[in-house]
Structure 1
Amino acid sequence: MLGKPQFEALSEFRFRLAQFLHFSESAARAEGVTPAQYLLLLHLHGFHGRSWGTVGELAERLQASHQATVALVQRCERNGLVAKRRSRSDARCVEIRPTARARALVRRVARCHAEALAGMDDVFRAASAAGEAVGAQSRARHGKQARGGDR
């Protein structure tokens, strides 16, 4: 069972997360893009070993529908933030690539984000400790059930 310190830690985590998301949205808008456009560019920048993605991969990262992601990519393309290119290895695949302008923009916004996240270390530790406490309680409860409960 969670105690008061765990609830306090989770509450503080949610509060600080909401603050960070608000800051993130404001930072994106200050650069002239919507928060969704910034996230799309961030994910393009963040794919392991490459700086492009497919609509399907971006939809998964954004937790958005395929159709909504296509519309977002189209808006980004109209705004000169991404370019589409047919894959050289699989002609069925279209690669979404950030433009030089988009790469510079995402670096500027991400730098601000990194600084904001650095100040949240204590909150992450407290939330993690609360999660570990719940996990330990759950493991203990499941262990009793596996042994036939309390005898």
Structure 2
Amino acid sequence: MNKLNKQDYQSLSDFRYRLRTFQRHSENICKAHGLTSLQYLLLLHLRGFPGREWATISELSEKLQAKHHGTVMLVDRCCDLGLVERRESITDKRCVEIHLLLRGEEIVDSIAWQHRPELELLEHEFSLVRPEKEF
């Protein structure tokens, strides 16, 4: 087993601190828009899904690192809020696609824009960090 030195622990601690600071800042922005962080992440993953404008529950579960049933409940809440909708796939009737609605797009765009200053700070800080070794 490799041992970590004090600098390794300090680097991990600093990273987790910055990550938690970003998350807390994000939680506050989401709350101001009447959403939870998970609801925002669902919208963000839909908005940023590569190659198309929708995703399946399984794909969203993977992006959220959540269990399938938890993602179903999250999608249900976002449907109730008028942020997303389920649509039967045109090409595969067994597949249900989750799509952003206009209200969901507007909210995710606004929240994402408000994350820019903190994201730019993190990008700057992480670009200054050069790991001396791999863990």
Does the pair score TM above 0.5? yes
Provide the identity percentage. 44
2: CA distance between counterparts of 1:103 and 1:3? 46
8 Å CA contact 1:13, 1:123 repeated in 2: no
CA displacement, residues 32-91 of structure 1 (integer Å, 9 cap, x when unaligned): 111111000000011112121100000111111111111111111011011111011111
Aligned positions, number? 133
Unaligned runs of 5+ in 2: none
Offset, 1:134: 2.6
CA distance in 1, matches of 2:39, 2:53: 15
Q: Aligned letter for 2:133?
A: V
Q: Which structure is higher in RCO with an 8 Å CA cutoff and minimum separation 6?
A: 1
Q: Specify which of 34, 39, 42 is matched with residue 40 of structure 1.
A: 42
Deviations along 1:3-41, one digit per CA (max 9) or x if unpaired, are 444433322211111000001111111111111110000
Q: TM-score, normalised by structure 1?
A: 0.81
- Extract unaligned runs of 5+ from structure 1: 139-151
User: What RMSD, in angstroms, separates the aligned Cα atoms of the two structures?
Assistant: 1.7
Which structure 2 residues correspond to residues 56-71 of structure 1 after superposition, within 5 A? Answer: 56-71=58-73
Please give the TM-score of this superposition, normalised by the length of structure 2: 0.89
CA distance in 1, matches of 2:28, 2:119: 15
Q: Name which one, 1 or 2, has greater alpha-carbon Rg.
A: 1
Do the aligned partners of 1:38 and 1:106 also contact (CA within 8 Å) in 2? yes
| 1:19 maps to amino acid | T
Contact 1:12–1:123 (CA under 8 A) maintained in structure 2:
no
